[in-house]
Amino acid sequence: MKTRLTVAFIILIALTASGCTTVKPWERGTLSKKEMSWSPDPLAATLSEHIYFAKEAAAGGYGSAGGGCGCN
């Protein structure tokens, strides 16, 4: 039982370690496309952040502070 658990653990570690890879120079163009960014639509992201800050009524994580009245 202990041997099987040890073998399973070693296999798990080997699979986990082999899952990490680096980005090749010729793959960087694909990863830098607009669709791969956190927010592909900057205008929608700005509007969403403004609405969040207007409703939060506290200092936000994006660097601005203001009240709940929407007058940031």
If you average pLDDT over residues 48-63, what whole number do you get? 68
If residue 56 lies in a helix (H) or strand (E), which one and from where to where? Answer: helix 42-56
What value does the mean pLDDT take over residues 12-26? Answer: 79
Give the pLDDT of residue 6. Answer: 92
- Give the residue-averaged pLDDT of 10-30: 81
Residue 51 domain-assigned (yes or no): yes
For residue 41, pLDDT beyond 80: yes
**Is 7 within a domain?**
no
Residues 34-63, mean pLDDT to the nearest whole number: 75
Is 8 part of a structural domain of the chain? no
If you average pLDDT over residues 34-57, what whole number do you get?
80
Q: What is the pTM of this model?
A: 0.35
Instruction: Measure the CA–CA gap between 40 and 44, rounded to whole angstroms.
Output: 9
Q: Distance (Å, rounded) from C-alpha 58 to C-alpha 65?
A: 6
Distance between CA atoms of residues 66 and 45, nearest Å: 18
Count of domains in the chain?
1
Per the CB < 8 A criterion, the answer to whether 53 and 62 are in contact is: yes
Range of the domain at 58: 46-72
